[in-house]
């Protein structure tokens, strides 16, 4: 298929032709098998298990008979939030994976033509299903939210502490370089000053010698 004046090759499946069974449609059964194993059966099992979990959660507050009204309200609110969380998790999985499976069925049965852009959109939606569960848990589960917040703080602390150590090491290296430069400058200045003093002393000695020679000549 052409894209930006370049041609890309895409592999397609070549289904075998079964001559012994005239009524056997290989593409139909393959599409149905993929739809059942990738979408319908996992969704059915998940719904069944989450319904059982929801029934258990709904019965938790009824076991404790003697409880204050405030405590009963908190337990009822906690049960409601847990059930909503289970429903949202199942709904997110069903909504995210349905477009991709429906697209495969429509293409395999030749009801629509294959479209690369449409496939990428449906594929991206299906792969994004794993990203929604943490947000659902943080929204409706207090324990999960506290643990995620604590982990986020630890990660931020580690990152910022490492950055602070790097900056501190850089500053200390800059200070050491500045100190070394200052020491070198000071030593050079002292050396120049000592050389000037020595030259001055030598000049004075030479002038004294010249004066002595002059006096001895006059005498």
**Domain boundary assignment for the chain:** 2-140
Report pLDDT for 174.
Answer: 56
Q: Compute the radius of gyration of the chain from its Cα atoms.
A: 42
Q: How far is CA 44 from the centre of its chain?
A: 32
pLDDT category at 90 given cuts 50, 70, 90 is very high
Task: Name the more confident of 151 and 164.
Answer: 151
| Reported pTM | 0.59
Q: How confident is the model at residue 215 (pLDDT cuts 50, 70, 90)?
A: very low
Question: Do β-strands 6-7 and 2-3 pair in parallel, antiparallel, or remain unpaired?
Answer: antiparallel
What whole-number distance in Å separates Cα of residue 10 and Cα of residue 3? 12
Q: Calculate the average pLDDT of the chain.
A: 75
Instruction: Look at residue 146 and tell me whether its pLDDT is greater than 70.
Output: yes
Class of 2-140 in CATH: mainly alpha
């Amino acid at each position: 298929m052409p894209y930006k004046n370049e041609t890309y090759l895409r592999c397609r499946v070549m289904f075998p032709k079964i001559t012994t069974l005239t009524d056997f449609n290989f593409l139909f059964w393959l599409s149905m098998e993929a739809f059942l194993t990738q979408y319908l059966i996992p969704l059915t099992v998940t719904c069944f298990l989450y319904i059982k979990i929801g029934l258990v959660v709904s019965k938790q507050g009824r076991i404790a008979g003697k409880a204050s009204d405030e405590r009963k309200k908190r337990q009822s609110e906690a049960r409601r939030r847990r059930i909503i969380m289970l429903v949202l998790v199942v709904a997110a999985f069903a909504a995210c994976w349905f477009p991709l499976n429906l697209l495969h069925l429509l293409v395999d049965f030749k009801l629509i033509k294959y479209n690369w852009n449409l496939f990428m959109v449906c594929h991206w939606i299906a792969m994004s299903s794993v990203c929604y569960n943490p947000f659902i848990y943080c929204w409706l589960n207090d324990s999960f939210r506290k643990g995620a917040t604590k982990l986020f703080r630890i990660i931020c602390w580690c990152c910022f502490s490492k950055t602070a150590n790097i900056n501190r090491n850089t500053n200390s290296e800059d200070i050491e370089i500045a100190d070394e430069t200052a020491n070198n400058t000071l030593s050079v200045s002292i050396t120049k000053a000592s050389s000037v003093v020595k030259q001055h002393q030598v000049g004075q000695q030479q002038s004294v010698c010249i004066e002595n020679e002059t006096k001895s000549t006059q005498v």
